Each structure stands twice: as structure tokens, then as C-alpha cells.
Structure 1
Amino acid sequence: MSKFVIKLLSPAKVNLGLWLLGKRDDGYHEIFTIYHTVSLFDEVFIKEGPLKVETSNNIPQEENLVYKALRLMERRLGKELEFSVYIHKNIPQGAGLGGGSSNCALVLKAINSLLGEPLSIEELKEIAQSVSSDAVFFLYGGTAVGRGRGEAVEPIRHVDLKITLIYPNLQVSTRRVYSMVSHTSLTPNLDSDKIIQSVLEGRFEVLENRLGELAMELFPEMREVYRFVEYLGYRPMISGSGSCIFYIGEASQEVKKGALLRGWKLYQVRSYDGV
């Protein structure tokens, strides 16, 4: 095999809504969510070489979701992989934007393709969900419903949106936020069909994020962003367990100026359906 370098774009996601339905026997929570990929990307480079995963922000290899997934792939294939991966990180960490999960799914698909598709999509999903509940979604991208822990993914018709993301330079631990969940956070009789239909029709008033609301109790910086967006007349939403706050629409000069003054990172993105 001759040396090669492949460059791939690894998109972020937002959760257009996220509901907690109950505690599972495995200790995780049953959720219902609507995933949506957006045009904020990490850049992934793959070349021939000893198995190695490096990132621009120096995530230790043993902790990297991509490395964990490739080790599982090796076990499944019964042979060592000879690929070196470098990831230039643009998606902020601990923001609820799924950067690590996106990297994981994208690299699994790419290497499986380079090897001639030895693994089926079902086998790739099994590897992905072993590493991250969100990673399965990124095998599809676009707009999709997530159930179970988030790994039971069902693509729906893609909606095309302009979205403004605000990141308050705060990394949130999803595990810590989930530890706050009580029975009052649950929505046991959710009408998921109504929510899906509302999103497809462009009616977003039904959307909420019960997990994100708990995160704001833990992290006042998130609530500050939320209230700022609300004060300017937009409808703020939280992606995943935070810390990223977003709204559907373009960034006004007021929003840009306010984010700059407070030291928040602002990203103007669009829906992305190119995974």
C-alpha cells in the first residue's frame, strides 16, 4: 500500500430537543432527542502508518474516542490497523456539540472504506455505540431521532436552518449533569410523533432540553448566556448537556457585540447534510 493522506470534515451537532424518559436497568437514562448536524467542523487527516491518533489540543491517545473505536475495530477484524490519524480540533470540547463522537464515526467509516468495506453498517454501529452513545448518529448525519441512550437512531427528513451557537468557554461533564436527574426531570408520556411533525413543519416552540436545564443549575455561566439570548428576543436552546447555547436564526450585531464583550465564542452555522 502506498502512502496517502485523506482529509475529511467532521461536523458538530446540536440537539434540537432532548427529553429524559426514565432510568434504565443498565444505569443509563432512556432519552428522546432530535439530532442535527451543522457546519462547524474538525479536520481529520488519515495516512498509512502505525496506529496512532493525535489531536491539535493534545487529547491523550488512550482517552480519545477514535483510538478506542479503532482498537475495537482491530479486535473485530482480527488484525492490526496501519493508519495514523491527526485531528485538528475546531469544535469546542465539553460543549454538547459531539466533536469526539463525530470524529469517531467519521474515522470508522473512512477506514472501513479504505479496507474495502469488511464491516457492515450494523457492525460499525456496534463499535460506535460501545464508545459513545452519540457516535452512531454521526454514521448518518443530517437530521435524526435518537432513542434508547441516544444510540437507536432513525433518520428523518433533513431540515435546513441557520443557527447561531454561543460557547461560554466552559467544559461541562455530561456524567455530572446526569447525576442531577431526578423523577421531576422525566417526561414519561412524551408525544414524540407530535414533536417530529412540529420540527418538520418548522414549528420549534415544542422543543425543550430537560438535561440542559439541569446543567444551567450547575453552571451559572450557561444561564448568563441563556438569559442574554432571551433578552435580545431570541429563543435560546441548549445542545446536549451544554455548555453551548444556540438559537435558530442569524447573529445580529447586538448578539455579536455582546458575545465579544463577554469573551464568549460565537459560531454562525448552517444545517449540514454531507456526512
Structure 2
Amino acid sequence: MTSRLAPAKVNLYLHVAAPDARRYHPLQSLVMFADIGDEVALSAGESRLTLDGPFAAGLSSGDDNLILKAVRRFAAAAGVNVDRALHLTKNLPVASGLGGGSADAGAVLHLLRQAVAPDMSDADLGAIAAGIGADGVMCLWNRSAFAEGYGEILTPVAMPELPCVLINPRVECSTAAVYSGFDHLGRFEGIDAKAEFDRLSTIDAVIAALKCTRNDLEPAAIRQQPVIADVLASLNGQPQTLLARMSGSGATCFALCANPDAAETLSHRMQALWPAAWVQACTLG
């Protein structure tokens, strides 16, 4: 058996433009990846997907699962029969704004290439990931990057490691509904902020740059799940929080901290304040 971490993706900022002629939203985001996530395993055996983990009950193991979509696309592109058993340990909340499904798909693509098509190029693997969803390519490579276009145009960026706390109040946000709400609000602003992040090497510099940015989907997500505003208020009320924001289309929020000890302290504090929530200290890198 071989296994691979499918790390959580965090949008440090997310600027979204008005929908274009195709009804898609051009965007710009700075994404980083945590040292926690789901776990995907590949082994010999009957071709099927099994699930466990704290959030397995909220996930389908049928053909709509992104892991199985990735397997089908990989088999077609490589011209192979994928006869492997797959297992997902679902550690991340479902529909949480952390890219979990795309990360799971990216992890299985790496495992499949290693197992049955080691000569497949990075470009070909990336093309498969791109067909899985807007987050497919960024969650395949798990590298700090600016994401543009519809999320598929990636520019790697050097970033310092960032101590972080993730908190999800165990509510789901429908991405489609959040974008629909965003369109209804009609608050479309400029999206380019890359110049703010030119050669940042310290946490303080990153925080200063992030304060010039935003997550444009936050207001629409809060309308869908008002508890997000309460979580953000709780994070902002703690002395360890340097910056708090929602990730992606929600409902997970994050706080950046000065050091790992501060992140651990904040994690314990938020778990006490929100005993029913999912709370994790981690490092973005």
C-alpha cells in the first residue's frame, strides 16, 4: 500500500470579478497549503473506494466522488486499466472552502502515476487535473501560488511558513449558492493585488500585505451561514490573531499567528469557545 497526504488549501485572499460572457468569474487568489489534510491510499485489490475518518459520513463513495472521476480520467489518458483499491481517510470537513475534494483527486493522480504510468509527464498529469475542476491543478501541485483566470493559471510565489489556525463551525457552504449570492450583491471591485506581495520574507510583511486584500465571497457566505461572522469575530477577539479571514467560499475560517506556540494557544482557546466546531492548528507552507 502507498499513501499520500491531500493537504488543505487556504485562500489567503480571494478577489472575484463580475461574471464574464461565459458566466464564469475571473479571479485572483493567493493560495497556500497546510501540513494537515485528508489521506489517500492505493493498494492491490478490487477496484473500489472505501472511506473512513471523522467526515466520511458526509461524503459519497459513488461515481460523483472526485477521486473516482480522477481515476477515470487517468485511465483514459494513460490507456491503462486501473485495477487498484482506493481508500480515503476524510479528515477535512466537506464543502468547507479547503479544496478537500480537489486535493483528494490530486493525491490519487500522483499515486496512480507512481504505480502504473511512471513515465507520464507533469504536463500530462496537470492536464488530467485541470479537467477535474477549477482547483484541480493548484491542488495537484500543492505549492504556494497566485491563482488567476478561473483558478487554473498559477504563478508560484515564495512565501514564509505561516502558523495558522483553521476553524469550521460544522456547517456547509454551497459554492454555487455563494457565487450566486455574490452576483446578487453586485459588489465588484478590482482584483489585482500581486504587487503587494513582492518578495515578502517575514510574517509581519505578509500580514501587512494581506490587510490590503479581502475575500470577496465572505459577505455572500455570511448571508448563507451567519455563524461565519460569529467565528470571525471570535478569532479577531483573541490576542494571538494577527489576521482572520474566511477561506474560499467558506465556511472554514483561518487566523494567522506570529509563531507555532501562539497558534496552539489560539487553537485551544477556540476549541473551548466553539466545542462543536472543527479546530486545527497547522502551518501553511
Common fold by TM > 0.5? yes
The answer on whether the counterparts of 1:11 and 1:99 sit within 8 Å (CA) in structure 2 is: yes
1:105 aligns to what? 106
1:221 aligns to what? 227
Give, in angstroms, the shift of residue 271 of structure 1. Answer: 1.9
Letter paired with 1:74: A
The answer on whether the counterparts of 1:169 and 1:264 sit within 8 Å (CA) in structure 2 is: yes
- Structure 2: tracts of 5 or more residues without a match: none
1:117 aligns to what? 118
Give, in angstroms, the shift of residue 32 of structure 1. Answer: 0.3
Letter paired with 2:278: K
CA distance in 2, matches of 1:9, 1:214: 31
Letter paired with 2:255: Y
The answer on whether the counterparts of 1:143 and 1:159 sit within 8 Å (CA) in structure 2 is: no
1:45 aligns to what? 41
2:23 aligns to what? 27
CA distance in 1, matches of 2:120, 2:22: 27
**TM-score where L is the length of structure 2:** 0.86
User: CA RMSD, aligned part only?
Assistant: 2.1
Instruction: Choose 79-88 or 119-128, whichever is displaced more.
Output: 119-128
Give, in angstroms, the shift of residue 191 of structure 1. Answer: 3.5
- The partner residue of 1:8 within 4, 10, 25 is 4
2:146 is the counterpart of 1:145: yes
The answer on whether the counterparts of 2:165 and 2:266 sit within 8 Å (CA) in structure 1 is: no
Give, in angstroms, the shift of residue 199 of structure 1. Answer: 5.5
- The partner residue of 2:245 within 231, 237, 255 is 237
CA distance in 2, matches of 1:248, 1:84: 38
CA distance in 2, matches of 1:252, 1:50: 41
Give, in angstroms, the shift of residue 258 of structure 1. Answer: 4.6
CA distance in 1, matches of 2:250, 2:135: 14
- Give 1:1-275 correspondences, 5 Å limit: 5-56=1-52, 57=56, 59-182=60-183, 184-188=186-190, 190-197=191-198, 201-202=205-206, 203=208, 204-233=210-239, 234=241, 235-249=243-257, 250-251=262-263, 253=265, 256-262=268-274, 263-272=276-285
Q: Percent identity?
A: 24
- Structure 1: tracts of 5 or more residues without a match: none
**TM-score where L is the length of structure 1:** 0.89
Q: For 1:54, what is the secondary structure of its paired residue?
A: strand
Show structure 1 runs of 4+ deviating over 6 A.
Answer: none
Letter paired with 1:131: I
Give, in angstroms, the shift of residue 117 of structure 1. Answer: 2.9
Number of equivalent positions: 267
